[in-house]
Amino acid sequence: MSEEVKIPYKGYLPEGEKNPMRKIIIDKVVVNMAVGQSGEKLAKAARVLEELTGQKPCPRRAKRTIKEFGIRKGENIAVIVTLRGKKAYEFLDRALEAVGRTIKASSIDKFGNFSFGIAEHIQIPGTKYDPEVGIFGMDVCVSLARPGFRVMRRRRKRSYVAPWHRVSKEEAIEFLEKVFNVKVV
């Protein structure tokens, strides 16, 4: 992580806003490594993902059988990790460095969520190549939210979140440019 940039872990308040409920925070960062087969290769991908994120990955199963690829329904074919809080900010900062701090505008949806891919995990700063493990690609999906957004997802007394309380595409672009120094093209 770059030392000169101080990342606001508690949220970013857009310019001109005074209300603390308008802060933008990273709700979660989901890192997915789809290997396409189970066995030793999947175990190596899980080890790489655990080294990168500091959390134990969870395996994901195939939804259906695809004979051409040799995949059976119910077989573990991918590993996934969900990061929240300070870990999410730190990993996202390193992952954005791997893609050159640029993101396509088309990869940001109308609710401020965005995704990007990393072709080789060794592009992430601080990662070294191990010939025994190999090279794996990954998908990084980021969800942005505001305080109080949890009422839509909680189990009890679920409620509606108004469209003006959601993070828009323009606000997500401003958040990326100001907080992570990302260029949106």
Across the range 93-121, mean pLDDT stands at 95
Give alpha helix (H) positions in the chain: 40-53, 86-98, 169-179
Closest CA to 78 of 56, 57, 53, 52: 57
What SS3 state is found at 154? Answer: coil
User: Residue 74: CB partners within 8 Å, gap ≥ 6?
Assistant: 61, 62
- Phi, psi (rounded to 5 degrees) for 175: -60, -45
pLDDT of 1: 46
The confidence band for 11, taking pLDDT boundaries of 50, 70 and 90, is confident
Dump pLDDT digits (tens) for 132-154.
999 999 999 999 999 998 899 99
What SS3 state is found at 107? Answer: helix
Write down all domains in the chain, each with its CATH number in brackets.
25-184 (3.30.1440.10)
Q: Is the pLDDT of residue 161 over 50?
A: yes
Give CA torsion, residues 47, 49, 53, 56, to 10 deg. Answer: -60
pLDDT of 93: 94
Q: Answer for the pair 114, 184: CB distance below 8 angstroms, yes or no.
A: no
Dump pLDDT digits (tens) for 14-28.
888 899 999 999 999
The confidence band for 6, taking pLDDT boundaries of 50, 70 and 90, is low
First to last CA, the chain: 23
- The C-alpha atoms of residue 115 and residue 11 are separated, in whole angstroms, by 20
Choose between 98 and 69: higher pLDDT.
Answer: 98
Classify the phi-psi angles of 164: left when phi > 0, otherwise alpha if psi is within -120 to 50, otherwise beta. alpha
Q: Is the pLDDT of residue 7 over 80?
A: no
The confidence band for 2, taking pLDDT boundaries of 50, 70 and 90, is very low
